[in-house]
A and B are shown apart, each in its own frame.
Chain A
Amino acid sequence: MNNNQDASNKKKPITNDQLSKEIKTIIAKITKLPIEKILDDSNLFADLGIESLAGVEIFAAIDKKYNLNIPEEKVKDVTSVADLVDLIQIMLKQ
């Protein structure tokens, strides 16, 4: 049943603003950083101190929320929160 709900999530259009808010909440939860410090142009590595293993964990939480399967190799390609939002938008539309 959960899977069906998640699958319907996948089809719902979501605005970039809303997605950005949700992604920042996930990042804040995993990194324990205050959400206000996580900005659209925050560099995940340089500004937020996220290592690739923690990045994979953020991907895992995003996978669960949006019923996606983001390839973990993408961790090295994503630099900012905005990049991550773009990547998820593309994957949600696929």
Chain B
Amino acid sequence: MQTLQQLLFFCSQKHKDHVAFQIRQEKIWRKITFSEVIPLVEKVQSSLVKLGVGPGDRVVILSENRPEWAISYLAVCAMGAVAVPLDAMLKREDIFVFIEDCQAKAIILSAKYVDLVKATTFESLTLVMEAFNQLEAKEIPQFNVNPADLAAIVYTSGTTGNAKGVMLSHKNIMSNVLAVGKLFPLGPGDNFLSVLPLHHTFETTCGFLGAFSLGCSITYTESLKSYVLIRNMQETGVTVMCGVPLLYQLIYDGIMREVDDKGMGKMFAVLLFISKVSKFLIGINIGKILFAAIHKKFGGKIRFFVTGGAAIDPQLIRNFELLGFAIVQGYGLTESSPILTCCTLKKNKIGSVGRAIQDVKIKIAGSEPVGEILASGPNIMQGYYKRLDLSNEVLKHGWLYTGDVGYLDEEGYLFITGRNKDVIVTGAGVNVYPEELEPLLGRCPEIKEACIIGTKQNALGRRGNEQVAAIIVAKSADLENSIRLFIEGLNKTLPEYKRIAKVVFRQEELPKTRLLKVKKYLLRKEIEVNEQ
């Protein structure tokens, strides 16, 4: 199987009456079996053809996580068109930057977002997910899809004139999807809880396509509130979930709060101690037995959790392990569809992001043991859409220059130690690019010079998460308050993850190289030292 079209036909035939997707709507679980997927896909394809969509045309998908998102993605890719999944939480003007950049031919969206296209040229080029059942499947041509064809463009950042869309072919995505199947012993008995936004490639490949390829059910959650997640886990018997470090931290904190509220802190500490000793002395993890009540609360069927998108505190993995829950960590970039390396249940080397997955090669640039991580394999992107300049910066001599820094141990396990690039990665696994925010600060007349960096965040008891910080040199010290007000106003116009969370004023000018590039690593160090 080398195309998403083949994946769709193969899985729909093989798993027939098994539930592929489910979501709770008005207290009832609406289920779609594998055999019901193709008729729905054909309805969408037929309607797209009527809108003039053909092979190679870009179709934007914009909605909350739901079965129709998955149906839309499969429909678009299986007709040789290109899926462009967008973050529905972005502001309207940001969404249109991407819609215009990819020259979308049509948009598939949920009713929640219909207002976005009102009074635009796209108003008549839209399919609404809630109406899928009323669509008709007529005159569907035969679509020939090849592994080298483009399947998706995934935007990782963008402002007007500066959008960065990762081009992934069918072969890119399928190589990663098939590799997921080799990593974990999963099958039709498994049920994935889909919590990460589906436009995030980690969720697209692992939580959706990977699960679909193995005949697993996928449960979409209507909310990320903990009591909703727990209810959904209990009602559907969730076995696997892909998440980001922040989500696991919140889950763990929630467990600890409940233990405290029930006055069971001492008993819990004793059980944790027994779990630790048993693991250390006899090498057996009895957490699942000792903390059976917690497992029951999570539905009693959790097999493991997968984490990615950002660095996780190894201690958090250990804490979960003592409770009898396994968290395996992987690593990758949107540019690699996304998985490059992953730990497994058999060998979960805590602290490492695992070994290279099937067909992927990882090496460290230069001759030192620690250096930039380079990757090659069938999952590496075709380049950035219409941005050969940016593509050439990261794709060189058959290798993807990840911008991350790390080392490989003697067993080939990768450890990440830092990053070359200035990109800020939040605990929720979202990338924030300083070059998008810095021009906005330049609009404040009271600012002499400023730059944006990521600083380690210690709030909420979490380690390792980064937050967006602005380092500012004011034109005079008495202007600091008005600059703060400017930033408050600016934050209101930005999506939550891009907001400036920390403002640091400097009296001296920003340190620069001879080419006048700000030495951000020095500023990061300065802040870390000041905060210690």
Binding site for B on A (CB under 8 A): 29-33, 43, 45-46, 48-57, 59-60, 63-64, 72-73, 75-76, 79
Contacts and interface: CB of A to CB of B under 8 A. Distances in A.
B461 A46 contact: no
Nearest to A52: B496
A76 B501 contact: no
B223 interface: yes
A55 B224 CA distance: 10
B461 A57 contact: no
A72 B228 CA distance: 12
A92 to B, nearest CB: 18
15 contacts: A30-B253, A32-B461, A45-B496, A46-B503, A49-B459, A50-B459, A51-B497, A52-B496, A54-B460, A56-B223, A59-B225, A64-B227, A73-B89, A76-B495, A79-B491
A49 B457 contact: yes
B17 interface: no
Nearest to A75: B496
Residue in A54, A63, A72 whose Cβ sees the most chain B Cβ within 10 Å = A54
B390 interface: no
Contacts of B522: none
Interface string B455-474: 00101110000010000000
Nearest to A72: B223
A46 B225 contact: no
Residue in A33, A50, A59, A60 whose Cβ sees the most chain B Cβ within 10 Å = A60
Nearest to B261: A29
Contact of A56 (B225, B460, B487, B500): B225
Contact of B459 (A33, A60, A73): A33
A54 B461 contact: no
A70 to B, nearest CB: 9
Contacts of B467: 49
A51 B426 contact: yes
A65 B459 CA distance: 24
A64 B459 CA distance: 24
* The 8 nearest A-B residue pairs measured at CB: A49-B459, A60-B225, A32-B461, A52-B496, A56-B224, A60-B226, A76-B496, A31-B460
Contacts of B491: 43, 45-46, 79
A53 B500 contact: no
Interface of B: 89, 223-228, 246-247, 250, 253-254, 257, 426-428, 457, 459-461, 467, 487-488, 491-492, 495-497, 499-503
A59 B224 CA distance: 10
Given A46-B502, A53-B427, A59-B225, 4 more contacts: A31-B459, A33-B460, A46-B500, A52-B428
Nearest to B461: A32
A44 to B, nearest CB: 10
Contact of A51 (B246, B253, B503): B246
B89 A51 contact: no
A52 B495 CA distance: 10
A35 B225 CA distance: 23
B247 A46 contact: no
A59 B223 CA distance: 11
B250 A57 contact: yes
A55 B223 CA distance: 13
Contacts of A59: 225
A26 B247 CA distance: 18
Given A32-B460, A57-B250, A51 B496 contact: yes
Nearest to A55: B496
B225 A72 contact: yes
Contacts of A55: 496
A4 B38 CA distance: 45
B460 A46 contact: no
Contact of A43 (B227, B253, B426, B488): B488
Contacts of A54: 246, 250, 460
A49 B461 CA distance: 11
B223 A57 contact: no
Contacts of B499: 45-46
B492 A79 contact: yes
A51 B427 contact: yes
Contacts of B254: 57
Contacts of B226: 57, 60
Nearest to A70: B225
A69 B412 CA distance: 48
Contacts of A53: 224, 246-247, 250, 427-428
Contacts of B246: 51, 53-54
A45 B225 CA distance: 18
Contacts of B257: 29-30
